Chains A and B, each alone.
Chain A
Amino acid sequence: MPAILTVDDSRAVRTIVGKQVKELGFEVLEAEDGVQGLEQLAQAQVDLVLLDVTMPNMDGPTMLQKMREGGNQTPVIMLTSESKRSIVSGAMKLGISDYILKPFKPEELRQKVLSVLQGEPGADSVVADASSGASSSPTPAEAGPGMAPAGGRFVDIVVVDDMENVHKKLRSMLPNHVSMNAYTSAQAALGACREKVYRVVLVDTEIPDVNSSVLAQQIRVLQPHAAMVALTLRTSNDVSKEVREQGFDDVLFKPFRPEVVDDFLLRYFDNQDFLQVEDNVLKVAPFSGKADRIDRFYGRLNGVFPEALEKVAAACYDEVVLDVGSPPMEGDRLPKFVVAVAQKSQEFGMTLSLVGPNEVRKVLGGYTETKDLKIFTTVQEARAGVAAA
């Protein structure tokens, strides 16, 4: 757990700062002046110093200077009622990371503490370059056996809910290729959000002893590009407006219904997740749901394949390979989908080859419209076959 040292001669300021920092999940150390501050630094591992300027015995700038002279490069945020340019400029020369003027708002303290601990670029980079970036190192973690790896830095979904069953239920309803992390405590979730990049953050609005609105705000600071979705019980009242006022972008109701989860996936995950395009190969994502969701699966595929084909055609390919994987083969949905893709490919002036297992070959062989299509076992074979032709 990162430790933060607050050096201030005011007990009230140390108490307020300590409370804020603890809420972020950090350990807090205190010192009344620069002398005590240096002693604390010599005794403990500190990740960040919040430093006042005017203090008895040894003031902030002197302590900062002694730290740097002694080779201590711990990040420092100056937290002071002093606004003289000469003092701040002098502290900047000694490498302060940021500055907070007292009295301050809790959000400002939280934001700057997190920003410095994440090693985000300062105002220099923000002014010079409009692009932003969070820098953190990945830590190993697994979503669970048989699921998409969630141990990398980029993970699709993080769920914060004190009920483990909610995690399990949602996980079971998500396609395997959608990665997910799940946490029962706010602290653990904040820790993960400091180290990973998520696309969607789901936060339960009823975690005991946790203000979900504040938690959402904290996570938003760490995950500025993620969609923030409230997890809440379905009630007769429309709570959408209420959760938006609390800082959420959207709401997902519990208990989860398949069609609602499908809509959620469609809304937050690029359609290409269902049909990935690589060069001239279109790869259908595996289907893992129940039989009652097959129609939605094909409906989605039918909705996205024209755009995928257009991309391949725009790259000037004469051939396109459709890797259907192991799709659900009930009814005539697969042949109809393949026929639609073949027709559209023809419109773009491309020939279509298919990749799929024997079961697919059997099913498509039973229909007049698809029996003559070239079907290969692997993408490599399909490419070689096309080249030979």
Chain B
Amino acid sequence: MSVDKLSAELEVILVKRIQGDQLFLPSMPAMATKILELLRDPDAGLKEVAKLLEKDPVLAARTLRMATSAAFAGGTKRITLQEALARLGTKALKGLLVEASAQKLFVSRNPQINEQLKTLWEHSVAVGILARDVLALTGQGDSESAYLAGLLHDVGKPVVATVLLELERQLTEVYQKGWIDSGEWLAVIKRVHRKVAVALAEKWQLPGPLVTCIKESGEYDKADRHSLANAVCFSNALAKKAGIYAGDVDAEDNDAIIMIGRSVIGISDDILRTLTKGLRERVMGLYD
């Protein structure tokens, strides 16, 4: 069976599962879900949120780290979790919870796939940083949401990878032989990941603009030049150009996306230099 045919069949299977609500989509971690629910409650105070957050040391540490970062005018002074929450605000905390939940998807028990997913997560972080900076530097659009939008643009890929692994196990048992190689594996993921990501984003009840962005970030929207989707589309190509990506890149197509995006969004040479300067270090520095 050719790769195209196999990809097409897998795509049909996955889409059918999504539409029939039969695709196993990972839930948001329980703690993140609980905290998000609490944040929706207008009567809940920071004290209660902090109390819940304390139960997850990793999330609590991440919250403290974010609150004491330069972005939130942090300092060297120690602060309590409650003070950290007050400094961050609800929107940033929600973003942090979604980010932490998404990161968990980019981990696999299979060492080879895990390595690919690690690079894919680094790519997602790069796209998040770039998308935020693109809108901030052009002074247009919602740069705060752009980071999360960039981070989640490929969130369907690890989910599809997991489903493919499951299918591979089943087929190997039937045919007693190996399945497709990693290149083909990536090609299948590339074809279906966006639909899966949209289904996941809806299941996680992410804000509407983020879901729209995941759905539409493959092409530019000429009508809304500074949309989240355009920032993510451009940033995705730029991160690939900078070499922060797992998988093959069609260089000519990628260059065309960058050239179009520069005019659509209004990216000058100066902005482009600022965006890409030290990008790899910034990505690595975020999760060292």
Q: Mark B206-218, 1 if CB is under 8 A from A, else 0.
A: 0000000000000
Q: Which of A93, A115, A123 contacts B259 (CB 8 A)?
A: A123
Closest chain-A Cβ to B92's Cβ sits at a distance in Å of 30
B241, A85: Cβ atoms under 8 Å? Answer: no
Interface size on A, residues (CB 8 A): 25
B195, CB-defined interface residue at 8 Å: no
Interface size on B, residues (CB 8 A): 25
| Residues of chain A lying within 8 A (CB to CB) of residue B269 | 115, 120, 123, 126, 132
Interface residues of B in 242-267 (CB under 8 A from A): 242, 252-253, 255-260, 262-264, 266
A127, B238: Cβ atoms under 8 Å? Answer: yes
A111-B268, A115-B269, A130-B276 known; A92 vs B252 contact (CB < 8 Å):
yes
A30, CB-defined interface residue at 8 Å: no
A188, CB-defined interface residue at 8 Å: no
Give CA–CA (A57, B256) in the complex, Å: 26
| Residues of chain A lying within 8 A (CB to CB) of residue B219 | 85
Q: Which of B220, B253, B268, B273 contacts A83 (CB 8 A)?
A: B220
| Residues of chain B lying within 8 A (CB to CB) of residue A89 | 252-253, 255-256
- Closest B residue to A87 by beta carbon equals B256
The main secondary structure of chain B at its interface with chain A is helix
Give CA–CA (A104, B263) in the complex, Å: 8
A100, CB-defined interface residue at 8 Å: yes
Give CA–CA (A105, B263) in the complex, Å: 10
B276, A127: Cβ atoms under 8 Å? Answer: yes
B222, CB-defined interface residue at 8 Å: yes
Give CA–CA (A177, B256) in the complex, Å: 48
| Residues of chain A lying within 8 A (CB to CB) of residue B260 | 83, 85, 88, 99, 101
Q: Mark B177-208, 1 if CB is under 8 A from A, else 0.
A: 00000000000000000000000000000000
Give CA–CA (A89, B257) in the complex, Å: 8
| Residues of chain A lying within 8 A (CB to CB) of residue B268 | 111
A108, CB-defined interface residue at 8 Å: yes
A270, CB-defined interface residue at 8 Å: no
- For A93, A115, A127, A130, which residue has the most chain B Cβ atoms within 10 angstroms? A127
Interface residues of A in 94-128 (CB under 8 A from B): 98-101, 104-105, 108, 111, 115, 120, 123-124, 126-127
| Residues of chain A lying within 8 A (CB to CB) of residue B257 | 85
Q: Which of B242, B263, B270 contacts A99 (CB 8 A)?
A: B263
Give CA–CA (A88, B220) in the complex, Å: 13
| Residues of chain B lying within 8 A (CB to CB) of residue A93 | 252
Give CA–CA (A329, B272) in the complex, Å: 54
Give CA–CA (A92, B256) in the complex, Å: 7
Give CA–CA (A310, B130) in the complex, Å: 43
Q: Which of A100, A105, A123 contacts B255 (CB 8 A)?
A: A123
A101-B264, A104-B263 known; A130 vs B258 contact (CB < 8 Å):
no
A and B contact pairs by CB, cutoff 8 A, 7 listed = A83-B260, A85-B253, A88-B260, A100-B263, A111-B268, A120-B269, A132-B269
Which residues of chain A have a CB within 8 Å of any CB of chain B? 81, 83, 85-86, 88-89, 92-93, 98-101, 104-105, 108, 111, 115, 120, 123-124, 126-127, 130, 132, 224
Given contacts A89-B255, A123-B269, 6 further A-B contacts (CB under 8 A): A86-B256, A88-B259, A99-B259, A120-B269, A126-B272, A130-B276
Which residues of chain B have a CB within 8 Å of any CB of chain A? 219-220, 222, 238, 241-242, 252-253, 255-260, 262-264, 266, 268-270, 272-273, 276-277
